[in-house]
């Protein structure tokens, strides 16, 4: 990175500042945390510098900046004044700020200062809370000691236990003075973040910075957490919340909407040091946000992240569901919308998809209807491209569309078998491939849900062809789960048993035509109706699978029993298959 160095003074403290990029473009100031210097941004800055005037600096006590003696000079108001001094020195107008860890903590202090909007145009916060907000959050959780509140508070206390040691006067100095920390630090980041050591740039002053930076903890943690005085801000804020953060739990950011009038939030399946592990992701999200603030207009993917009220567990997520015009697909779409997701509803029956969208609209949700024949590869490819262009890359894909085929395999026609395979198996593989590629390229994780069936592991006469396609979906899903694990994309196979859906009344019976076909359909449909297991119950299991990242989900009691019989007593499963249920 071709940085241009300069110096900025704030009172008696000299701050080492570097600049790059387009001088006349909007200014983006990058603020690092502990134990880093401006080198934290060595992979992010070059991407931002293609469009912006990029500025970074070593905060006081780090790198080439001055390190005043004592703890008092490291109180948050002093750090906020440093940020304002840098902004005033490098640009005539307000600057956009992207900050990480303690850099984010001190920027929160700055944006909650009266008049901050005149100097800070926007703020991208990564892995760093406002300490007053955090202190208030902890007090509220412990003042209402429900099991959930206590669990959340204790989880954060456990994650922050290291800060107690960091505030001691002697122990941390001895600890950090005992080793040559650069190689140890690289190995630590590789272990917790999966980051290649070659991607981690540390300053020559790392050892000294680790000890110097402890004054941030001593000067601020106890006063702010024990005696919080939360302020608010009108500066546009984008929170990138890392759900795998070893130091900060995602729940601590749930109260931010109280204090930020213009807030966007994106939860990411990433760890604490995102600037090292996913620099392109930060650059992309920051660019999108900054350009939206500059232009006054957003994008579909950014608009979805706006926090305007209570958040469901799928808030900010885009879900795509095939076969959403009826049955399990419709109920899943409605349930996802109730939980905050924006939903793309596709179905070969466009009117059915539109009816689902109308039902979601009456709930105050957002949904879109598309026609789709999942057996048409070209149409599926065009659909995925259209969805990405119009709405963004989906976070959740539910490959639900399917058909039934019953009767003897010997009576089935080639056309029936091909259609069954094209829809039930190849359609699922196509949706997984096209949308999976988009998710991997975006790099923000996701979840793919594939509808299999209890038939995948409960062989029975009269359902051989159908069971074969669903067994294929099950094994495809388990294999794909392993393939995509490194990209933080979960894959779930949902295996319902006897569920009352439209697929039952439209199932073809091989070898039957006319009145006989209709009689057999009606008989099976009546049996499924008597069973009384409705699609909304399956939808609830699908939602749980996404939230809990479940691999295989047998749905209905008979499916759960069948799954275990097939695994542990396969001979019994084969004997039971001789009884015809259709």
Catalytic amino acids? 466
The closest of 218, 193, 211, 11 to 100, measured between CA atoms, is 193
To 10 degrees, the CA torsion angle through 45, 49, 51, 55?
80
Rounded Cα distance between 141 and 149, Å, is 5
Long-range CB contacts for residues 46-50, cutoff 8 Å, separation at least 24:
46/1, 46/20, 47/279, 47/280, 47/283, 47/284, 47/287, 48/21, 48/98, 48/283, 48/286, 48/287, 49/1, 49/20, 49/21, 49/22, 50/21, 50/22
Rounded Cα distance between 73 and 62, Å, is 13
Residue 495 token pair:
């295996």
B/e letters for 526-555, b = 16+ CB within 10 Å, e = fewer, are eebeeeebebeebbebbbebbeeebebbbb
Rounded Cα distance between 366 and 357, Å, is 8
**Beta strands of 386-451 (E only): which ranges?**
396-399, 405-406, 446-451
B/e letters for 328-356, b = 16+ CB within 10 Å, e = fewer, are bbbbbbbbbbbbbbbbbbbbbeeebbbbb
Rounded Cα distance between 148 and 154, Å, is 10
The closest of 198, 203, 164 to 34, measured between CA atoms, is 203
CB 312 within 8 A of CB 338: yes
Angle at the Cα of 227 from the Cα atoms of 222 and 231, rounded to 5 degrees: 110
B/e letters for 61-76, b = 16+ CB within 10 Å, e = fewer, are bbbbbbbbeebebbbb
Distances (CA, A) of 435 to 41, 183, 370, 445, 447: 31, 39, 16, 12, 10
DSSP-based three-state secondary structure for 485:
helix
The closest of 374, 394, 483, 406 to 447, measured between CA atoms, is 394
| Burial class for 17, CB neighbours closer than 10 Å (0-12, 13-18, 19+) | buried
Distance of CA 278 to the CA centre of its chain: 13
The arrangement of strands across the sheet holding 342-347 comes to 367-371, 342-347, 318-321, 396-399, 446-451, 489-496, 552-555
CB 93 within 8 A of CB 67: no
Rounded Cα distance between 150 and 138, Å, is 9
CB 220 within 8 A of CB 134: no
Rounded Cα distance between 371 and 354, Å, is 9
Kindly tell me the sign of the dihedral angle through the C-alpha atoms of 258, 259, 260, 261: positive
Rounded Cα distance between 197 and 195, Å, is 6
Count Cβ atoms below 10 Å from residue 324 Cβ, excluding itself. 35
């Amino acid at each position: 990175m071709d940085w241009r160095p300069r110096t900025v003074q704030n009172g008696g403290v000299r701050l080492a500042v570097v600049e790059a990029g387009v001088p006349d473009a909007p200014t983006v100031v990058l603020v690092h945390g502990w134990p880093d210097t401006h080198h934290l941004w060595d992979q992010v800055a070059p991407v931002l510098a293609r469009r912006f005037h990029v500025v970074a600096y070593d905060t006081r006590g780090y790198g080439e900046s001055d390190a005043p003696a004592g703890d008092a000079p490291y109180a948050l108001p002093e750090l906020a004044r440093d940020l304002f001094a840098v902004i005033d020195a490098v640009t005539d107008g307000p600057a956009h700020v992207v900050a990480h860890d303690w850099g984010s903590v001190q920027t929160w202090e700055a944006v909650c200062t009266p008049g901050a909007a005149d100097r800070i145009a926007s703020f991208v916060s990564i892995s760093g809370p406002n300490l007053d907000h955090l202190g208030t959050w902890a007090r509220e959780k412990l003042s209402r000691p429900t099991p959930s509140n206590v669990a959340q508070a204790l989880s954060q206390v456990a994650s922050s236990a290291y800060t107690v040691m960091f505030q001691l006067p002697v122990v941390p100095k001895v600890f950090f003075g005992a080793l040559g920390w650069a190689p140890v630090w690289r190995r630590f980041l590789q272990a917790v973040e999966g980051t290649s050591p070659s991607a981690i740039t540390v300053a020559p002053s790392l050892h000294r910075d680790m000890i110097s930076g402890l004054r941030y903890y001593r000067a601020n943690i106890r006063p702010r957490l024990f005696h919080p005085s939360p302020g608010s801000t009108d500066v546009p804020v984008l929170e990138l919340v890392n759900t795998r953060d070893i130091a900060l739990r995602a729940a601590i950011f749930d109260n931010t909407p109280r204090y930020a009038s213009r807030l966007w939030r994106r939860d990411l399946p990433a760890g604490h040091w995102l600037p090292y592990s996913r620099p392109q992701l930060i650059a992309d999200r920051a660019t999108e946000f900054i350009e939206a603030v500059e232009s006054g207009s957003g994008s579909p993917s950014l608009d979805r992240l706006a926090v305007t009220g209570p958040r469901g567990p799928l808030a900010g997520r885009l879900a795509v569901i095939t076969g959403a015009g009826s049955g399990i697909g419709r109920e899943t779409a409605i349930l996802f919308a109730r939980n905050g997701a924006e939903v793309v509803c596709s179905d070969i029956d466009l009117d059915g998809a539109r009816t689902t969208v109308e039902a979601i609209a009456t709930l105050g949700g957002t949904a879109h209807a598309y026609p789709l024949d999942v057996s048409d590869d070209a149409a599926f490819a065009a659909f995925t491209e259209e969805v990405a262009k119009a709405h963004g890359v989906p976070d959740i894909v539910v490959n639900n569309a399917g058909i039934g085929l019953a009767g003897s395999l010997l009576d089935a026609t080639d056309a029936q078998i091909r259609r069954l395979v094209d829809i039930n198996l190849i359609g699922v593989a196509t949706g997984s491939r096209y949308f999976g590629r988009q998710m991997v390229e975006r790099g923000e994780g996701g979840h793919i849900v594939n509808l299999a069936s209890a038939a995948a592991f409960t062989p029975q006469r009269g359902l051989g062809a159908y069971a074969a396609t669903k067994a294929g979906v099950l094994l495809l899903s388990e294999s794909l789960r392993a393939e995509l694990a490194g990209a933080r994309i979960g894959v779930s196979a949902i295996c319902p048993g006897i569920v009352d859906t439209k697929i039952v009344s439209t199932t073809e019976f091989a070898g039957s035509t006319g009145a006989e076909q209709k009689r057999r359909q009606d008989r099976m449909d009546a049996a499924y109706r008597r069973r009384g297991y409705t699609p909304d119950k399956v939808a609830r299991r699908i939602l749980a699978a996404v939230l809990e990242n479940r691999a295989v989900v047998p749905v209905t009691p008979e499916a759960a029993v069948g799954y275990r019989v097939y695994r542990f007593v396969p001979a019994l499963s084969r004997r039971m298959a001789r009884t015809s249920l259709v």
